Amino acid sequence: MQVNSARLIVTLPVYKDTGFIEKACEKLEEITRALTDDFVLQIAEDGSNSSEVVDRLRKNYSNIMYVQHDRRLGRGKALREAWSSVDGEVYVYVDVDLATDLAKLDAYRKLIEGQRQFDLVTGSRYIAGSQTNRPRFRRLASVAYNSMVRLLFRTGVHDHQCGFKSISRRLVKVLSVEAKSDSWFWDTEVVVLAKKLGFRILEIPVYWTERKGNRTPVSRLLKDVWLHGTGLLKLLWRVYFH
């Protein structure tokens, strides 16, 4: 039976990540149920297919919802499409590799319970109390990028990219109209728009470990620079000149 509403919607964005899904779902089912029984665990798969794994999981968990697209939409669009199909009060998304440790620093509980006072709660790898384990070059590039975004848009946020966020229902509704990015830049856009539109933002420390390899191919690096560079230019225009 397809579940289409719950108080809490926990979403795993997936793109060619079949090997991570089972462990992530089992962990999230366990830790979320300790906080509430009223939740949907949503697998938002974009441009790949893990239906065999999902069918196996559904035998044990009746609250799993699977939204799958054969054609690649991009992270932002895939999340917007997934959330438009289910009604909740709080929407959470967590990277499927669980690079953010759910238990350490009590991060997952803070992510959800922070919604009592804030519209956007976002994990941060770069504030006091955080612990980040990733290659030095990636860390330096990420810190530089986030410093630039913070300076350009005055967000006050130190980590716009972290895939560990909770968003209120009213902010999700606004983002369904205002957010334009379909790609990974969506993580940054969400924070900038929330700040611009006067929503309440909380940044929490996390324990974060690189899970998808320690080397970044030059082609991937160039693609990321282009994606985030063009994304910033478009967002600057919208925020300050449109």
CA-based Rg of the chain, rounded to a whole angstrom?
Answer: 17
The structure tokens listed for 26 are 């089992």
Is 224 a catalytic site residue?
A: no
Torsion region of 186: left, alpha or beta (phi above 0 gives left; psi -120 to 50 gives alpha): alpha
Q: Quote the pLDDT of residue 177.
A: 94
Contact by Cβ (8 Å): 161, 147:
no
Give the pLDDT score at 217.
62
What percentage of the chain has pLDDT greater than the value 90? 85
Average pLDDT over residues 141-158: 96
pLDDT of residue 122: 98
pLDDT band at 76 (very low <50, low <70, confident <90, very high): very high
What value does the mean pLDDT take over residues 144-171? Answer: 97
* 1 pLDDT more than 60: no
Give domain 8-215's CATH superfamily. Answer: Spore Coat Polysaccharide Biosynthesis Protein SpsA; Chain A (3.90.550.10)
- Could you tell me which of 87, 96, 108, 85 has the C-alpha nearest to residue 166? 108
Task: Answer yes or no: are the C-beta atoms of 208 and 100 closer than 8 Å.
Answer: yes
Active-site residue (options: 97, 106, 187, 224): 187
Q: What is the pLDDT of residue 118?
A: 98
Q: Which of 71, 82, 31 is nearest to 48 (CA)?
A: 71
**pLDDT tens readout for residues 87-125:** 999 999 999 999 999 999 999 999 999 999 999 999 999
User: What does the pLDDT read at residue 219?
Assistant: 67
pLDDT in tens, 220-239: 667 877 888 899 999 999 99
